[in-house]
């Protein structure tokens, strides 16, 4: 689809999620550049607390521009109130570029984090095409879709969970925010609101691949009017990495040395931090599974691992 567009931009959400402005989206940007975007200068307006609108020099990249868009509110509950300020700043940011550096482009497409679906309204306003990008696993997105539809309450009770497109599972297997009474309901509402304006999107991207979550993706596809594309998984790449150029990694060599379907991959994302007891349970579960495993753990979570793990 991007072959006919000459420029595109990314808009991300102001929380510690799996995809940050100049990191995880970098690999997607490189891929889009190779798909026929004819040397675009993709612009990524990121969100930063107490930041002023400012164009920053792109790190080690000649065709990547970046801007900090103020959210206007440093308080803990700014998720409820940042929309007005961020929207106004982003609106002005787009308007300036449509009159300036983007004027020479026939079209501009915006890929925005699914949690800020109102960006699609700005895209339409400025004659742009919009694509909502769900960075979480499709099964997690399905759960919050059911929350938005009223099929799944929070905090959830004690009965087994049985929902369309998903296998039955115990309440404790739900994301922490859906079964822990002490979890922030702000985050739950924030995630559920991803689906409020979704029908206005021109495209919907999921950070997964079809063979991994085909049933859930098909379920979404049957209930929506917009084209769904699985474009994942996306990976954090350094800025000086040539697009899609293989880079030798120890873990890849180790994976290649093992038989097909013999290694368990575990990654819990970063939107909801895990408790130490949960990390310990998962760690010992992997150890006692009698399977080799590859577990992705953020540096900030390493201290929650069992001693000598």
**What are the residue boundaries of the structural domains of the chain, listed by start?**
2-135+197-246, 248-309
Q: Which of 272, 279, 300, 301 is nearest to 136 (CA)?
A: 272
Q: Convert the pLDDT of each residue in 145-187 to its tens digit.
A: 998 888 888 777 788 888 888 888 888 888 877 877 776 777 7
Contact between residue 205 and residue 224 where contact means Cβ atoms under 8 Å apart: no
**Tens digit of pLDDT for each residue in 216-252?**
999 998 887 878 999 888 766 555 555 555 555 677 8
**Which residues are CB-neighbours of 263 under 8 A, at least 6 positions away?**
255, 291, 292, 293, 294
Pick the CATH number of 2-135+197-246 from 3.30.110.30, 3.30.70.1400, 3.40.50.2000, 3.40.50.10310: 3.40.50.2000
* DSSP state at residue 2: G
- 69: nearest Cα among 101, 91, 38: 91
C-alpha span between 110 and 11 (Å, rounded) = 7
Cα(235)–Cα(224) distance, rounded to whole angstroms? 27
Structure tokens at 292: 């080799």
Residues of the chain with pLDDT below 50 are 1-5, 17-26, 34-61, 71-75
What's the length of the chain?
A: 309
3 state SS of 148: helix
- End-to-end Cα spacing for the chain: 46
């Amino acid at each position: 689809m991007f072959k006919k567009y000459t420029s595109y931009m990314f808009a991300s959400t102001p929380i510690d999620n799996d995809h940050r402005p100049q990191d995880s989206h970098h690999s997607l940007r490189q891929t889009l550049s190779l798909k026929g975007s004819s040397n675009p200068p993709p612009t990524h307006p990121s969100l930063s607390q107490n930041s002023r609108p400012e164009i920053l020099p792109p790190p080690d990249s000649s065709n990547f521009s970046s801007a900090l868009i103020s959210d206007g509110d440093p308080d803990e509950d700014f998720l409820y109130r940042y929309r007005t300020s961020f929207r106004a700043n982003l609106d002005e940011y787009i308007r300036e570029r449509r009159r300036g550096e983007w004027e020479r482009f026939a079209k501009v497409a915006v890929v925005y984090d699914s949690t800020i679906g109102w960006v699609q309204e700005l895209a339409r306003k400025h004659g742009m095409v919009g694509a909502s990008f769900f960075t979480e696993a499709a099964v997690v997105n399905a759960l919050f879709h059911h929350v938005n539809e009223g099929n799944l309450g929070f905090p959830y009770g004690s009965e087994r969970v049985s929902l369309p497109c998903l296998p039955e599972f115990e309440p404790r297997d739900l994301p922490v925010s859906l079964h822990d009474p002490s979890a922030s309901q702000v985050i739950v509402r924030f995630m559920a609101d991803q689906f409020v304006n979704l029908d206005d999107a021109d495209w919907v991207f999921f950070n997964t691949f079809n063979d991994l979550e085909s049933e859930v993706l098909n379920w979404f596809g049957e209930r929506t009017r917009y084209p769904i594309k699985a474009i994942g998984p996306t990976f954090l790449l350094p800025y000086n990495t040539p697009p899609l150029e293989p880079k030798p990694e120890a873990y890849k060599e180790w994976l290649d040395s093992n038989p097909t379907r013999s290694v368990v991959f575990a990654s819990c994302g970063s939107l909801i931090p895990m408790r130490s007891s949960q990390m310990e349970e998962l760690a010992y579960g992997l150890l006692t599974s009698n399977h080799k495993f590859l577990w992705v753990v953020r540096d900030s979570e390493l201290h929650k691992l069992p001693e000598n793990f």
